[in-house]
Structure 1
Amino acid sequence: MGVKDAVEAIGKSGKPGFYGGNVLAVAPMMDWTDRHCRFLHRQITRRALLYTEMVVADAVIHGERERLLGFDAAEHPVALQLGGSDPAKLAEAAAIGADLGYDEINLNVGCPSDRVQSGTFGACLMKTPELVARCVAAMKAAVDVPVTVKCRLGVDEQDIETALDALADGVFGEGADALWVHARKAWLEGLSPKENRDIPPLDYPRVYRLKERYPDRFVGINGGIPDLEAAKRHLGHVDGAMLGRAAYHTPSVLADADPVIYGEVSGDFDYALLIERMADYADRHIARGGRLGHVTRHMVGLFHGRPGARRYRQILSTEATRPGADSSVLRKAFAAVDLESAAEAA
């Protein structure tokens, strides 16, 4: 679904089509959800909303845009996630993203990395909800596509009841089209970014209470969601569910997304066709000066749990990174997978 489809799907709610009902999304993940990862995910699910890695507003404005922001038209609907805390710079970066064709602009208020903290954006913005609201207002004034926010429950010693409500009140008050909540606190002191993904306890009911407070606004949930069935359970309480590491490490978890979440007619997923599409894509990338490993590094977990998966991983891990490797390596790896036998631990 691209911009044209989204516009045509606008209903009484005034929301673009991909926010018109329950939404499944793949989370923005640094170093992971690059354009090659998103292209792979789009071949598996037609409907899920995809996100870029976070890109700092200054980089969008001054950096090499094709390298930082380029994407394949097949990726729609795809959202650009921005990092920053200067309303004017975020507005300029949002306008650039919208002009390039992104279907949504998202503001990161959840990343706890040291680099983000030193720039006074990401999760530390939970401490300044008024500034976040000003950022949203500036971005909304600059673009016609949805402007959304992704945040945490709070940071450090904040009370998650008051902190999350303050953030939501501010951004919804300035017209944010959606608020995605990673249902954990972020501890800016004492925990590494990796630890912040696991150690702070999940509190899904807190996000549910936010949705009860805002019945007419889009509230989505993220954090520790392992599969589509869990996502569907969350959708009984909120408007959107966002898969992160589960979708990256085992991309096949998305294979039933369209029927399970969106009610489309189900059928056996065609992995052979997927491999051919990815092989063609890889060859195009190589022809532009890229390397096979740029694409296949996101495909290593594709057949997790199936007979032959270990051999598939070995081939990709060793041969796809060699100079001159082309799509024949991907086809060779796929030939090692037994799709006919019952799944078993690889």
Structure 2
Amino acid sequence: MTSPSQPAASPRIDPAALRLSVAPMMDWTDSHCRVFHRLLAPHARLYTEMVHANAVIHGDRERLLGMDASEHPVALQLGGSEPELLAQAARIGADWGYDEINLNCGCPSDRVQAGRFGACLMREPALVADSVAAMVAACTASGRDVPVTVKCRLGVDDDHDYDCFRAFIDIVADAGCGMFVVHARNAWLQGLSPKENREVPPLRYDWAYRLKRERPDLQVVVNGGIADAGEAAAHLNHADGAMLGRAAYHTPYLLHRLDVAWFGGEVKPRAELLRALRPYVEAQLERGVFLKHITRHLLGLFANERGGRAFRQVLSEGAHKPGADWSLVERAIAITESFATAHDSDRQPA
């Protein structure tokens, strides 16, 4: 039995569920996006956009936390730095059915700096530990085995000491966290935009690999700069999983190929996968959702394919118009199919 001075350990996540995941991305990984990604990758772990604990407690929960049943397993990512509020928000997330509650310790934006959360927390490991312990206790009280996890950077600004990074992990792990998503870059809090923070600081995957070697009982997922299937697969030799961000969003068919390669199944054509989204789209349209809010997540499906640019153009130009419905998606698919047919006929012998 856990003593009062010893925080409870968060439940361990099934290792298979960590192999492939899609990063939480602000303004991108909303529920519509996650439903689409689930069709592409039935085994991937999906994450919400970061939601501040205060918003969860006081805001419109249906808008902030609402999800489709098909999304599971799906994690709620929270932002914040007050243990009591994070615990309350974590309990709410558990009650809403989320499969994991993840604490953001990596976002470098001005807004999170002003609120003393996100990447700023890398320099306050004791506060993160208190927050995690409170969140674990709250999720345990919910009656559901909901793991509490942390997504972090390697350090902040000029923090280039691996021992400091490992000390952060150890302190938070002692508070009950057993799984860390490591965005393998530093976060620069001055002089770089959030976009530049995803690209400019050098990647150090070796730190994440070393952490896994030295702390084999921890589950370590690698994130940051993973651009293709080969890079993603290489991480599985050193860590428990690979988390894709922009590559999953801009070239979503990559998710499908990885899911089939790592979990089995048959590779399906892009058009077949997209047509499986039709019932969801039509149900959302009946609820008053505009088509553009869904199709903006589909634009990269035919990336680097013949007709891919025309596919994006049809959806981008038509989805915002009044009355836009599934027929627009079919028109976009038809264009890609016409390009493929023309290409095949060009290759026929005379």
TM-score by length of 2: 0.90
Tell me, yes or no, if the aligned pair for 1:24 and 1:240 is still in contact at 8 Å.
yes
Q: Distance in 1 between matches of 2:16 and 2:307?
A: 40
Tell me, yes or no, if the aligned pair for 2:229 and 2:254 is still in contact at 8 Å.
yes
Structural mapping, 1:193-204, within 5 Å: 193-204=194-205
1:94–1:157 Cα change, 3 Å: same
Residue type at the aligned position of 1:244: G
Q: SS of the counterpart of 2:77?
A: strand
Partner of 1:303 in structure 2?
302
- State the aligned residue count: 327
Partner of 2:347 in structure 1?
none
Structural mapping, 1:223-302, within 5 Å: 223-262=224-263, 264-265=264-265, 267-302=266-301
Alignment identity in percent? 56
Tell me, yes or no, if the aligned pair for 2:17 and 2:45 is still in contact at 8 Å.
no
Deviations 1:28-72 (A, max 9, x none): 000000001101000001001000000000000000001011000
Q: 1:121 aligns with which of 89, 110, 117?
A: 117
Deviations 1:210-249 (A, max 9, x none): 1111111101110000122211101100111100000000
Matched, 1:186 2:182: no
Residue type at the aligned position of 2:211: L
Deviations 1:150-169 (A, max 9, x none): 00000012234133112211
Q: 1:16 aligns with which of 8, 13, 17?
A: 13
Partner of 2:101 in structure 1?
105
Q: Distance in 2 between matches of 1:300 and 1:217?
A: 37
Partner of 2:69 in structure 1?
73
**How many Å apart are 1:176 and its aligned residue?**
0.8
Tell me, yes or no, if the aligned pair for 2:18 and 2:221 is still in contact at 8 Å.
no
Q: Distance in 2 between matches of 1:289 and 1:188?
A: 40
Residue type at the aligned position of 1:285: Q
**How many Å apart are 1:21 and its aligned residue?**
6.7
Partner of 1:177 in structure 2?
178
**How many Å apart are 1:20 and its aligned residue?**
4.8
Q: Distance in 1 between matches of 2:291 and 2:334?
A: 17
Deviates more, 1:173-182 or 1:121-130: 173-182
Residue type at the aligned position of 1:166: A
Larger Rg: 2
Partner of 2:166 in structure 1?
165
Residue type at the aligned position of 1:332: R
1:325–1:54 Cα change, 3 Å: same
Residue type at the aligned position of 2:336: V
Structural mapping, 1:213-224, within 5 Å: 213-224=214-225
Matched, 1:137 2:133: yes
Q: Distance in 1 between matches of 2:274 and 2:252?
A: 13
Matched, 1:149 2:150: yes
Matched, 1:51 2:47: yes
Structural mapping, 1:76-95, within 5 Å: 76-95=72-91
Q: Distance in 1 between matches of 2:18 and 2:98?
A: 20
Partner of 2:212 in structure 1?
211
Q: Distance in 1 between matches of 2:286 and 2:164?
A: 49
Deviations 1:167-188 (A, max 9, x none): 2111211111310000000010
Specify every segment of 5 or more residues in structure 2 that has no aligned partner in the other structure, as ranges. 1-9, 140-144, 345-350
Partner of 1:315 in structure 2?
314
Deviates more, 1:283-292 or 1:43-52: 283-292
Residue type at the aligned position of 1:305: N
TM-score by length of 1: 0.91
Q: SS of the counterpart of 1:97?
A: helix
Residue type at the aligned position of 2:61: R
Q: SS of the counterpart of 1:98?
A: helix
Q: SS of the counterpart of 2:102?
A: strand
Q: Distance in 2 between matches of 1:214 and 1:207?
A: 10
Partner of 1:9 in structure 2?
none
Deviations 1:119-176 (A, max 9, x none): 1000000010110011100000011301000000000122341331122111211111
Q: Distance in 1 between matches of 2:326 and 2:94?
A: 33
Segments of 4+ in structure 1 off by > 6 A?
none
Matched, 1:40 2:52: no
Q: Distance in 1 between matches of 2:32 and 2:18?
A: 26
Residue type at the aligned position of 2:34: R
Specify every segment of 5 or more residues in structure 1 that has no aligned partner in the other structure, as ranges. 1-12
Instruction: Report the aligned-residue RMSD.
Output: 1.6
Tell me, yes or no, if the aligned pair for 1:126 and 1:163 is still in contact at 8 Å.
no
